[in-house]
Amino acid sequence: MASGTLYTYPENFRAYKALIAAQYSGAQVKIADNFVFGETNKTEEFLKKFPLGKVPAFETKDGNRLTESNAIAYYVANEQLRGKNEVEKAEILQWLGFADSEILPASCAWVFPLLGIMPYNKQTIEHAKEDVTKALSTLNIHLLSKTYLVGDRITLADISVAMTLLQLYQYVLEPKLRQPYVNVNRWFQTIVNQPQAIAVIGNFKLADKTLEYDPKKFQAQSGKSKKEREHKEKKEQPKKEKESKKKEAEPAEELDAADEALAEEPKSSNPFDNMPKGTFNMDDFKRSYSNEDEAVSIPYFWEKFDPENYSIWIGEYKYNNELTKTFMSCNLIGGMFQRLEKMRKQAFASCCLFGTDNDSSISGIWVWRGQDLAFTLSPDWQIDYESYKWTKLEPSSEKTKELVNQYFSWTGTDKDGRKFNQGKIFK
């Protein structure tokens, strides 16, 4: 029987395919411990095994590796799910292709902007809605006289197509929008209410109301300057956002992007250049933080910190009640960091996400050169900062010491007692 380790973030609809298939077959699928999306899948160790750095990814107990959610689901499935004859097997492949080509791009184009993880473009969304309509109409006709997509039992076709429709039914297909597709609705409910599906995705709730576009969620993307976009395109390689606690990289390497951004501008355009350097060496501290345990790097920070020329701040996200999935909140933090390239030279931050899905908060401790709110120094740094409440901390106070220790070591709770969940380092 198939067994192995699945690398994924929680609630990944692509990973659900394999997890549900495994419920049918009894395959032993262990979800990798401590997987942090955007970090674990960008490590050298992960990329050596799975060069695209994408999830889900699967490693069998014998060390064979698989990517592509459909292939993983196929591997962990059983005979029933794979189809009982050649025609059924081919039909299943047909529906897997249909899900990936006809549903998925349109679903992402419609849902992701509403979740704030893709730019909003009305025309793109209208086009996506048309594509979803075509796909649902096709399915509706097919399911008029059929209980399942292929044959007379559930197969991988049902699992893959239903999982690809999941976000549409969850976020946008409110009753009025799904009403024309009675056969698809009936079939979808049948699939997601199978005990094997419930064991993975829980009790699924159909959308009551289409999620509304919220520019605040989206502002991080829409406010990007042309220059930043060009810069990002140039660096198509996975960003060296090596904030992981594994700390495998030297800060010098991590500063590449900052150096590039600086090189694009005349030197004097970096606001930090006009400020006294003081005695605190940001690079040395970053090196210590990257390479040594916090038991060493935090005392090092306090020993070297120069309160006359550098300041410490706490930034608290203002819209915590709008945070939903924790992986999306982490993307929000990561996005902000990416848009602050030039600031990296003389700034450091540890931002933490506390809590769990639908009950979380974001806050971070920031250190930068100068005594004023650094974001006001350059228009390039002003995309995200207004979404946070900024408070300057008194470096000599015990309270500041406690906060710095907590945020630098990724421990403790937020003000409301939510436990530390994930952290990201800006350096």
Ligand X SMILES: N[C@@H](CCC(=O)N[C@@H](CS)C(=O)NCC(=O)O)C(=O)O
- Span interacting with ligand X, options 24-32, 54-62, 118-126, 403-411, rule CB under 6 A: 54-62
Residues in region 7-36 near ligand X by CB under 6 A: 12, 14
> By C-beta, is 54 or 234 nearer to ligand X?
54
The tally of CA atoms less than 13 A away on the side-chain side of residue 180 is 10
> Alpha-carbon distance 273 to 267, whole Å?
8
Q: Token digits for 227?
A: 């220059």
> Alpha-carbon distance 338 to 354, whole Å?
21
Q: Does 334 bind ligand X (CB under 6 A)?
A: no
User: In the set 56, 116, 315, 364, which binds ligand X (CB under 6 A)?
Assistant: 56
Q: Token digits for 335?
A: 């996005």
- Span interacting with ligand X, options 51-59, 191-199, 204-212, 258-266, rule CB under 6 A: 51-59
Phi first, then psi: give them for residue 424, nearest 5 degrees: -135, 140
- Span interacting with ligand X, options 52-60, 194-202, 308-316, 320-328, rule CB under 6 A: 52-60
User: In the set 30, 49, 54, 146, which binds ligand X (CB under 6 A)?
Assistant: 54
Q: Does 326 bind ligand X (CB under 6 A)?
A: no
Q: Does 55 bind ligand X (CB under 6 A)?
A: yes
Q: Token digits for 355?
A: 């809590």
Please state the closest distance from residue 37 (CB atom) to ligand X, in A. 7
Please state the closest distance from residue 252 (CB atom) to ligand X, in A. 24
In which element (H, E) is residue 192 found? helix 182-192
Q: Does 88 bind ligand X (CB under 6 A)?
A: no
Helix axes 398-409, 294-304, angle to 10 degrees: 140
> By C-beta, is 39 or 414 nearer to ligand X?
39
In which element (H, E) is residue 322 found? none
- Sign of the dihedral through C-alpha 151, 152, 154, 160: positive
Q: CA-based angle 317:322:326, to the nearest 5?
A: 80
Please state the closest distance from residue 167 (CB atom) to ligand X, in A. 11
User: In the set 11, 59, 68, 259, which binds ligand X (CB under 6 A)?
Assistant: 68
Size of the site for ligand X (CB under 6 A): 8
> By C-beta, is 14 or 344 nearer to ligand X?
14
> Alpha-carbon distance 185 to 69, whole Å?
24
Q: Token digits for 76?
A: 């962990």
- Span interacting with ligand X, options 50-58, 179-187, 280-288, 314-322, rule CB under 6 A: 50-58
Chain residues binding ligand X by CB under 6 A are 12, 14, 53-56, 68-69
